[in-house]
Structure 1
Amino acid sequence: RGLKLLMAKGCKRIGLFTTAQHLNYFQELREALSEAGAKVHTTQIFPWMPGQIIGCRFDTIVSNLDRKVDAYLVVGGGIFHGLGLFVTTNKPVIIADPYSNRLIEVAEEASQILKKRLFKLMEALDKKNYAVVISTKIGQFRLALAQKIRDLLRGRGKAAELVVADEISPSLLLNIPWAQAFVIVACPRIAIDHQEEYPYPLLNPGEVKYVLRGSLEEYTPKDSLVPNLSLNNVA
């Protein structure tokens, strides 16, 4: 069904990706799409497997693949990976979510999601007490980055402390009574896919520069997906 939607839009050259949970079916899916008339392309984001999408590496997909495809099909749960592709490439993206058995046309949902992100970021500018959250999971424990963000926030007059945990969840964060906003220095999809579970802003490191500036001037939605700290135009 996802292929039919894309081909109805005139998209025959398809960039295909999936998350780690569904890699076992990747080749089978690729062959099925080819048999249905699509020209299927993918790429490898080292050191991960061919076709595996990684939320913080959309730049690799753009440089290796974007000129070869008309649209993207992503097999996996949640909106994060598809949203990242859409914002980065500005091409049609469909998510085939096997958990909800839904096809999601990202363009239809992206505007609403990004408006909510912008609203939460506006809220964050006025918050005084920040928790900078690190996960001990492999590949997500970025202590030096978290410490730098904490120190920069303090330098702007914010109260900021580190919070270290294995699993980042509402049951953890909502029991930190002093925190008014959170910077998630872990998997960037937490702040995108799970923001609605929290009454307080969840920011990714790429959004911190707006708090440091105290302004949303020159805002770009791509910063919502950036897992690293950017200090462009921060005085």
Structure 2
Amino acid sequence: MTDGSLSTSRRIRVVVVDDQDLLRTAFRMIFEVTDDIEVVGEAADGKEGVAVVRRTRPDVVLMDVRMPGMDGVEATRHIRSKSADPCGPGLPKVLILTTFDLDEYVYDALRAGASGFLLKDTLTDDLLSAVRVVASGEAVTSPSITRRLITHFLDQAPVAAPPQLDRLNVLTARELEVLTLIARGRSNTEIAQEMYLSAGTVRTHIGRIFAKLQLRDRVQAVILGYECGLVSRDPQPPARG
């Protein structure tokens, strides 16, 4: 297993971590009827989940965020930490499960390395799609969810430290503009329209931004934009020195 796209030659291996037996059973039943996804382990809390993940080496972990003992945030941090991974460079992707839209723990879980989040009452087709998307190396954050994520944390969580714009100095002016639009929840199509660029050019810019800033996906780009002050109630991007 690598930390990039999953080979299509085998089934996606999933571990389900949730303190509710009925939910774990429901998820297992959903995956059992697919041809490309299999449940290789279950756990009822974060600590057990970390142990099961290390033993089974799955591709994707469905992680409840609120559990007794070690919660989903801390478990995600352990699972996504290379120093804590005894299996080599491959790290499982983590998909956070939450009862409430934009749960207060979601932001911390995304910072800990989760690739996205889903409500527990997500439709079956959307759940299966999310697992496949995450296994392929992408993040499950639609532009609409990204916008709500931004709004939620602008309203409830102040930036912990002054904007660290020095990290953005490696970007060109055009790349900074693209990153700002990503942080505001724009899709690739919307970015292309606003900047009068082709879709291919936008993808090229995004690839270079992620490489220069060592970002894994759009989730990390949004978080960086928030922490660096790109996302604010002022629609203008920060001035460059």
TM-score normalized with structure 1 length: 0.34
Hey, which of these two has a bigger chunk of strand by percent?
1
TM-score normalized with structure 2 length: 0.33
